[in-house]
């Protein structure tokens, strides 16, 4: 999977309008106005699959009206100030502030010399992650509030957003790998569900997982073993086994004592172990390359997991 980067720097409001509309509101209404004679818009937008991380810098006195968006769009303030007006309610923003653009009401934003870190993700990914990881039948996921549920939740989102943006940067090509890109998208989805008020927090939505026989688990295990090198999800495993995501989660815990994702991580460690045994360091093969091939973005965490699984550091296996 390739990482696509769009970089634009312009002092022309009409050019900025065209770029911002194409990126954020291709099918919705957007207006852009500025009273500043020194208007400036700097944009760096990065995409990996249906996940996007952007840095947007705007000069003072910029106002933008946005129709409801049909995807997850969250801004994090880096510098500068501004405000968001939604249905008569006003939210002031500054450095460290986190805000989710509404999907059910238009928004008017006023920015004064801001730099924003923007996360974009499809709603389908959010709903899939909710169904896989939570004991809920919550489709479609509906977000309620536009701000984090708490200060700690907001600060956790800020850390997450900066981490994801760094992984999508030009000098960090790890997100170009399909497994790594899928993991980052799932991380953002899970972070959003933990950060903003939404229907997955409603205990009335809790349902039973359903029953899955041992033969179902065997089918799921075979699917994981055969496809561990691909960016598969719990939903993919459940479909292959012929049950729901919640049923396969429950069945793995009951029959194997682990989650499907934990089993998948172990299968990927086994794949990395085999590749390290076959690798040739004199030909330029590295631990980082092998780790990334199997979806481990952070080499230090891979090394720790590898040592725990095999009793030696991956570098020793590579050296033979």
Question: CB under 8 Å to 41, separation ≥6 — which residues?
Answer: 8, 9, 10, 11, 13, 15, 16, 19, 20, 56, 57, 58, 59, 62
Show the DSSP H helices in 30-177 as ranges: 123-133, 151-167
What is the structure's pLDDT at 61? 85
Q: Where are the domains of the chain?
A: 1-207, 263-319
With beta carbons less than 8 A apart as the criterion, state whether 74 and 119 touch: yes
With beta carbons less than 8 A apart as the criterion, state whether 244 and 238 touch: yes
Report the distance separating Cα 18 and Cα 35, nearest Å. 18
Three-state SS at 62: strand
Report the distance separating Cα 275 and Cα 88, nearest Å. 58
What is the structure's pLDDT at 1? 60
Report the distance separating Cα 212 and Cα 245, nearest Å. 11
- CB-based burial of residue 35 (10 Å sphere; 0-12 exposed, 13-18 middle, 19+ buried)? exposed
Give, as one character, the DSSP assignment of residue 278.
H
Over the chain (320 residues), the average pLDDT of each successive run of 10 is 87 92 86 83 93 93 90 96 89 94 91 95 92 66 86 94 88 72 93 88 50 78 94 90 82 89 94 95 92 90 94 92
- CB-based burial of residue 308 (10 Å sphere; 0-12 exposed, 13-18 middle, 19+ buried)? exposed
What is the structure's pLDDT at 33? 85
The values of phi and psi at residue 229, to 5°, are -80, 0
The values of phi and psi at residue 276, to 5°, are -65, -35
Three-state SS at 83: strand
Helix 234-241 / helix 123-133 crossing angle, nearest 10 deg: 70
Report the distance separating Cα 243 and Cα 271, nearest Å. 26
Q: CA of 222: how far to CAs of 81, 117, 238, 267, in Å?
A: 53, 41, 12, 11
Report the distance separating Cα 316 and Cα 313, nearest Å. 6
1-207 homologous superfamily: Jelly Rolls (2.60.120.10)
- This prediction's pTM: 0.71
What is the structure's pLDDT at 18? 92
- Number of other residues whose CB lies within 10 A of the CB of residue 33: 12
Both structure tokens of 229: 């090198």
What is the structure's pLDDT at 309? 94
Q: Which CATH class is domain 263-319?
A: mainly alpha
């Amino acid at each position: 999977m390739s990482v696509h980067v769009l970089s634009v720097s312009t002092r022309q409001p009409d050019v900025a309008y065209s770029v911002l509309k194409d990126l954020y509101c291709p099918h919705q209404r957007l207006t852009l106005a500025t009273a500043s004679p020194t208007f400036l818009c700097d944009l760096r937008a990065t995409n990996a699959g249906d996940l996007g991380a952007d840095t947007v810098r705007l000069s003072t006195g910029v106002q933008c009206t946005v129709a409801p968006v049909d995807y997850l769009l969250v801004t994090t303030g880096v510098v500068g100030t501004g405000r968001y007006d939604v249905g008569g309610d006003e939210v002031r923003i500054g450095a460290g502030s986190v805000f989710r653009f509404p999907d059910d009401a238009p928004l008017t934003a006023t920015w004064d010399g801001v730099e924003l870190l923007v996360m974009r993700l499809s709603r389908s990914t959010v709903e899939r992650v909710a169904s896989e990881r939570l004991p809920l039948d919550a489709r479609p996921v509906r977000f309620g509030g536009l701000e984090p549920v708490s200060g700690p939740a907001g600060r956790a989102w800020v850390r997450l957003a900066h981490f994801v943006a760094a992984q999508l940067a030009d000098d960090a090509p790890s997100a170009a790998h399909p497994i790594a890109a899928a993991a980052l998208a799932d991380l953002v989805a899970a972070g959003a569900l933990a950060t903003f008020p939404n229907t997955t927090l409603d205990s009335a939505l809790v349902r039973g997982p359903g029953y899955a026989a041992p033969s179902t688990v065997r089918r799921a295990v075979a699917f994981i073993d055969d496809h561990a090198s691909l960016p598969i999800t719990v939903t993919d495993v459940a479909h292959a086994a012929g049950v729901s995501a919640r049923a396969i989660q429950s069945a793995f815990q009951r029959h194997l004592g682990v989650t499907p994702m934990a089993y998948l991580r172990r299968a990927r460690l086994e794949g990395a172990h085999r590749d390290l045994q076959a690798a040739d360091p004199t030909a330029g093969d590295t631990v980082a390359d092998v780790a990334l091939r199997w979806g481990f973005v952070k080499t230090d965490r891979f090394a720790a997991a590898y040592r725990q699984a095999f009793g030696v550091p991956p570098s020793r296996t590579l050296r033979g």
